[in-house]
């Protein structure tokens, strides 16, 4: 493509937008609303997923062993468990550590009662592994493996918590996909209408261009540029607005609602927008390109 053709297409794309100000503004506003909703939804879901992931990190499977197993045999089993792909972290809890923890919880304020157990550990056979998972949805697979091991007496799991978290993650995924699909369809439809109006207004001009030898590319390119520009402007405005709003909201919640800040740790704005900005820009330009191309093929016979 020659450089003058490139700049001609860019210039005509801008002119098309200004020729149809009302439709262009409507498309930009709708695109901005769609990208704003997409960005807002992305921010909420990202923070929510992070919070859920932190909860998942606290979900563990506890493995107890036969009473006659030695410390070295238990550690050998632990080495095998640690090699599993489902395992993120393995923590060994000795009988002594289990008894110290038990005393802190159940004899708090009545330490004299625990004194009667000096030299006699009631949890002498309670050595166990606390196993933390890479993904809570892997829990059932890991539990089946653990129960098949020789020397394992009992496996305790948080089945209800794991199932609830897994179902929640699936629900979030389905809802996210549905909302994004609806927003994309609305944006494509409106950009298509804007480009279609531009084609109608310039139909006579296009006919003259064809008569004097203009190529199909030269005729079509300005409308594609128009769609992409609408998409880019419609994406840039809400992304900028969301960035400043997100920073303000984080500070406001931290100052006014300390209890929320202690329960929910927000992801820093730079981390969120390092992904959201390029995705939003590509999404806006992509929607503009697809909408304009669809309309050109349908309504512009060149």
pLDDT at 243: 92
- Domain-embedded: residue 162: no
Same-domain pairing of 43 and 177: yes
- 89: pLDDT confidence band, cut at 50, 70 and 90? confident
Name the CA radius of gyration of the chain, rounded.
31
CATH number at residue 127: 3.30.70.3040
* Top-confidence residue, 75 or 196: 75
Please report the sign of the dihedral spanned by the C-alpha atoms of residue 232, residue 235, residue 238, residue 244: negative
Query: What proportion of the chain, given as a percentage, has pLDDT over 90?
Result: 4
Entry pTM: 0.62
Residue 197 and residue 131 in one domain? no
pLDDT of residue 62: 85
Residue 17 structural domain: 3-55+167-299
Total tally of structural domains belonging to the chain: 2
Q: Please identify, among 124, 157, 190, the residue that sits at the C-terminal boundary of a domain.
A: 157
Check pLDDT > 60 for residue 154. yes
Considering the domain architecture, whether residues 49 and 186 belong to the same structural domain is answered as: yes
Q: What's the rounded Cα separation, in Å, for the pair 176 and 171? A: 8
Q: What are phi and psi of 265, to 5 degrees?
A: -95, 110
């Amino acid at each position: 493509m020659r450089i003058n053709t490139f700049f001609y297409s860019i210039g005509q794309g801008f002119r098309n937008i200004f020729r149809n100000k009302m439709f262009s503004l409507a498309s930009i506003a709708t695109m901005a609303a769609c990208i704003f909703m997409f960005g807002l939804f992305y921010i909420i879901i990202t923070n929510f997923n992070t919070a859920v992931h932190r909860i998942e990190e606290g979900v563990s499977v506890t493995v107890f062993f036969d009473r006659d197993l030695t410390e070295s045999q238990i550690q050998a089993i632990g080495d095998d468990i640690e090699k599993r792909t489902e395992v993120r972290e393995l923590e060994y809890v000795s009988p002594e550590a289990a008894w110290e923890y038990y005393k802190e919880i159940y004899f708090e304020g009545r330490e004299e009662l625990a004194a009667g157990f000096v030299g006699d550990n009631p949890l002498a056979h309670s050595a166990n592994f606390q196993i933390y998972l890479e993904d809570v949805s892997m829990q059932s697979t890991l539990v089946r493996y653990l129960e098949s091991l020789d020397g394992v007496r009992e496996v305790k799991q948080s089945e209800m918590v794991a199932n609830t978290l897994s179902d929640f993650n699936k629900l979030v995924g389905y809802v996210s996909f549905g909302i994004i699909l609806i927003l994309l369809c609305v944006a494509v439809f409106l950009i298509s209408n804007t480009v279609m109006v531009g084609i109608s207004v310039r139909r006579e001009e296009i006919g003259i261009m064809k008569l004097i030898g203009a190529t199909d590319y030269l005729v079509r390119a300005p409308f594609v540029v128009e769609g992409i520009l609408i998409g880019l402007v419609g994406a840039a405005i809400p992304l900028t607005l969301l960035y400043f709003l997100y920073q303000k909201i984080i500070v406001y919640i931290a100052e006014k609602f300390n209890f929320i800040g202690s329960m929910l740790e927000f992801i820093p704005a730079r981390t969120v927008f390092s992904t959201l900005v390029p995705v939003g820009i590509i999404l806006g330009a992509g929607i503009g390109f697809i909408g304009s191309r669809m309309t050109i093929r349908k309504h512009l016979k060149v």
